[in-house]
Amino acid sequence: MILRLRVSFPDRPGALGQVARVLGTLGADILQVTVLERETGRAVDDFIVSWPGAPDSAAVRDRLAVVPGMRVEGVWPTRESPGAAPDYDLLRHVAADPSRAFPTFVDAVPDLVGAEWAVALASGAGELVHRSWQAPAGLDDTGGLVGVKIGDLTPLRPAVLTSGPYRLMSLPVPGTALHVVLARTEGPPFHRAEVDRANRVVEIVSIIAASI
């Protein structure tokens, strides 16, 4: 099973190696490591690992948390392909057909940041413009999104929200009346590094779309 683990640990020499050794003793094969932050004496990294069997997320968390100083912030399944370049693949598809720039972005962006699904909303009325294929069929297209109203979305800058079981990221699309909202039910709230990554891509997508 492919899992994404978000781990916080003391930022000192050898600490990353200790995390890797612990994962190895638990039978996990590390496929990719992404550094999210190095601040205030601690590091936060995302590990994509191949884990034997079908582990329970709580059990994985408990087994890792016994290491002094280690804090497991999230464990969740992922569709990410380690070593791939989803940002470039997404932009290549957008450039190939700029008329479908935003539907292409909405369909592909969940895999950039470990989200489960995404939707595009018209900022004024909250009308549902496009949904990724993974999005729940029962989404309200009249102004509400899993408990979040369109008025709650920050119009000028990306934002991170929580509504019930959902962790949400809101991205206003430059030069349009659209918001793209990403969601996941497992794992921690979106990290600012994930928000920055998705926002950089949507800015480029908006430039490509405006060129036609």
Pick from 121, 165, 124, 129: nearest CA to 145: 121
84-116 confidence digits (pLDDT tens)? 678 899 999 999 999 999 999 999 999 889 899
Q: Mind listing the pLDDT tens digit for each residue in 3-52?
A: 899 999 888 888 888 888 888 888 889 998 998 998 878 889 999 998 88
**CA–CA distance, 76 with 119 (Å, rounded to integer):** 21
Reported pTM: 0.83
- Residue 8: phi and psi, rounded to 5, are -110, 135
Nearest CA among 94, 202, 121, 125 for reference residue 158: 202
Please name the residue ranges forming H helices in the chain: 15-25, 57-64, 86-96, 101-108, 192-210
